[in-house]
Amino acid sequence: MKKVKKALLPAAGLGTRFLPVTKSVPKEMLPIVAKPILLHLAEELVSAGIEELILVVPPKGKESLLDFFSSPSADLSDALEASQRQDLLDSLEKVQASLKIRSVIQEKPMGLGHAVLTGKSAIGDEPFAVILGDELSFAPAGTTPILKNLIEVYQETSLSTVAVMSVPSSEVNKYGIIQPQDENANPMRVLSVIEKPSIEKAPSRWALPGRYVFSSEIFEHLQNTDAGVGGEIQLSDAMSLLAETQGLMALKNRCLRYDAGDKLGYIKANIEYGLRDPELGPKLKEYLSSLKL
């Protein structure tokens, strides 16, 4: 069996939830403490054994995503060396040494399914991961990162495997929702996937939080998928076809998940990542405790 060595990151969206800043700054470059979301995601991919990241970008406006992974300017390198703070770029340099990064162009944003299909030429017939650019995942001590777990299940079963999380009934209309064969199992076999169903039509409360591992058969189903909810090509519709044919598994997410594409979720991510920082954490905790609002 071919190993999962490539990942797609759809990054051609307009970032409307964070306007006006995303008019000129890609949402993937918004910082969580001092690291852009993109670097957090790249580190997650490296920890899962991914060797190549393919960014799905629009024709214009996201050049900074690739520029971020280029070598620092001579002026910056000299300044860091003079102040003995070369360590500030350690995390970036580790990713640069471990992850090959390139891009493919999505001419027009036509849904997540279309973004994944755009990456077909770069993926070929290999299995691959999909990681969403506004979903952060943090693995607490003693917990295996969810993407690494998905890859392990794929290698064991030869079946595409996606992460799921339980959400309140009032929030099922915000997510793709799976219909599990047995929701007490883990991983669960998926019977179908419905994009943003009403509470009445939701087959479960198991939602998709933006981590997937697919066999290349998903591309065939995406090519045969018509526009669905919102007039877009929905990845969830192709996943349903995959579940009916080759099979699809879902693994319950035990990691902490942050919707960094939502303003409140973004603020929460900054606070919690800040509290975990050994230098910043104690001062931030003291400040938060002092607030009288």
Q: 254-281 pLDDT, tens per residue?
A: 999 999 989 999 999 999 999 999 999 9
Total residue length of the chain = 293
Tokens matching residue 231: 């007039």
SS3 of 2, please?
coil
pLDDT for 94: 87
Average pLDDT over residues 103-113: 90
pTM score over 0.75: yes
pLDDT band at 142 (very low <50, low <70, confident <90, very high): confident
Q: What is the pLDDT of residues 237-255, one digit of tens each?
A: 999 999 999 999 999 999 9
pLDDT for 224: 87
Q: Quick one: what percent of the chain has pLDDT higher than 90?
A: 72
pLDDT for 78: 63
Average pLDDT over residues 285-291: 95
Lowest mean pLDDT among 12-16, 132-136, 196-200, 235-239: 12-16
pLDDT for 73: 67
Average pLDDT over residues 104-126: 93
Helix, strand, coil % over all residues of the chain, rounded to 5: 40, 20, 35
CATH class of 6-290: alpha beta
Is residue 76's pLDDT more than 90? no
Is residue 23's pLDDT more than 80? yes
Q: What is the pLDDT of residues 197-241, one digit of tens each?
A: 999 999 999 999 999 999 999 999 999 887 766 678 889 999 999
pLDDT for 82: 67
pLDDT for 88: 62
Tokens matching residue 258: 């942050």
**E strands in the chain:** 6-10, 31-32, 35-36, 52-57, 100-105, 128-131, 135-138, 160-166, 176-180, 188-195, 206-207, 211-214, 248-252, 256-259
Average pLDDT over residues 100-114: 91
Q: How many Cβ atoms are within 10 Å of 23's Cβ, its own excluded?
A: 11
DSSP string, 147-197: HHHHHHHHHHH-SEEEEEEE--GGGGGGSEEEEES-TTSSSEEEEEEEES-
DSSP H or E stretch at residue 269? helix 263-276
